[in-house]
Structure 1
């Protein structure tokens, strides 16, 4: 993912408290980095959780939730919303494959090079068109994003996927090459 210093908030670190700390802790809990209920207090457990996230997403490991870390948390949440909206009910492998498609698009010259660009490209994801993007992603969706980001790609490099039983766009059938199926999704290039 592209890490940019886009958030103007002050870094969050040990001793800080408040609503923003609580929100960060909620995301860290959903991602499996924090094994306690959010409290709004940034203590040693939150610092350790931030370090884990930073390590997994190749950020400087400081334990401080600065601009890059907060940006990364937001990017992961956006991807998890797509995975949840598009693939909840599919196997874990199928959910990781959907996350991998997003990552593959980031690295393809045929697609935008930012998460927002990929996710919000016109007609790219049904979950955005039908409102499922706005559902709260579950633990599984966050983990699928994390595993895809760590390099697991059950889509085998696919940049498209669709359910051939319900897809209505002729474009997807005429302009992609199917690779393989996981659950109800056909992954294609």
Structure 2
């Protein structure tokens, strides 16, 4: 993983948040809604591990239950209504799962959670942007974004690791950096205070 250097204040600007395919942040879907937007929502909830029924394009009890459980797990009001905040959180989970899959595909489950936790820790750090998409797309922040692995489809384990991190599991103890000491070539990252090692990654502050 290539690390953000000392000029952490040089945040990415002009980014575009990408909503789930077929979904709009401005819309609201409720029990009784139908159509391709509901189909897209069901597919996204299925990827995140919350929707287990058939994809029908009908927002019935199963979909409402899935949405409510997803909301509860990610810190939203579990009303079962899929509105802008829910779609925004779905997007956060999606982009984070792509990073986890690209950066920690060969790591243990705790190693995957750790990568997700670093993203969340950066969101809480004033030196980084304030939304997941911007954090992930900072220049040279995550190797997976730049070498194409970010575009791979995340497995269910990556989604689950992101959700667990969102629930508060942080095996990195507040780290905002990580790197493979056997592969890192930037001497700056070795100056960071190491916190813990998980698999092939050293996590640091």
Same fold, TM-score > 0.5, yes or no: yes
Q: Distance in 2 between matches of 1:164 and 1:42?
A: 48
- 1:8 Cα shift? 4.5
**Deviations 1:87-144 (CA, angstroms, capped at 9, x unpaired):** 1121000000000000000001121121122111111000001011111111101110
Asked whether 1:69 is paired with 2:86, we answer yes
Asked whether 1:183 is paired with 2:199, we answer yes
What does residue 45 of structure 2 align with?
A: 28
Q: CA RMSD in A?
A: 1.7
Question: Aligned in 2, Cα 1:148/1:13: closer, same or farther, shift over 3 Å?
Answer: same
Q: Which moved more, 1:41-50 or 1:58-67?
A: 58-67
- TM-score by length of structure 2 reads 0.84
**Deviations 1:153-177 (CA, angstroms, capped at 9, x unpaired):** 0111110001111122222123x11
Flag the structure with more relative contact order, 1 or 2, with Cα contacts below 8 A and sequence separation at least 6.
Answer: 2
Q: Distance in 2 between matches of 1:74 and 1:96?
A: 18
What does residue 79 of structure 1 align with?
A: 96
Question: Aligned in 2, Cα 1:39/1:167: closer, same or farther, shift over 3 Å?
Answer: farther
Stretches (4+) displaced over 3 A:
6-9
Question: 2:25–2:88: 8 Å Cα contact kept in structure 1?
Answer: no
Q: Distance in 2 between matches of 1:177 and 1:8?
A: 39
Q: Distance in 1 between matches of 2:47 and 2:127?
A: 32
Task: Say which SS state the counterpart of residue 86 (structure 1) adopts.
Answer: helix
- 1:59 Cα shift? 1.4
Question: 2:118–2:176: 8 Å Cα contact kept in structure 1?
Answer: yes
Count matched residues: 184
Task: Say which SS state the counterpart of residue 157 (structure 2) adopts.
Answer: helix
What does residue 3 of structure 1 align with?
A: none
Question: 1:29–1:37: 8 Å Cα contact kept in structure 2?
Answer: no
Q: Which segments of 5 or more consecutive residues in structure 1 lack a partner in the other structure?
A: 1-5
**Deviations 1:10-50 (CA, angstroms, capped at 9, x unpaired):** 21122222222222212211222112242222111010000
- TM-score by length of structure 1 reads 0.91
Trace 1:37-76 onto structure 2 (pairs within 5 A): 37-76=54-93
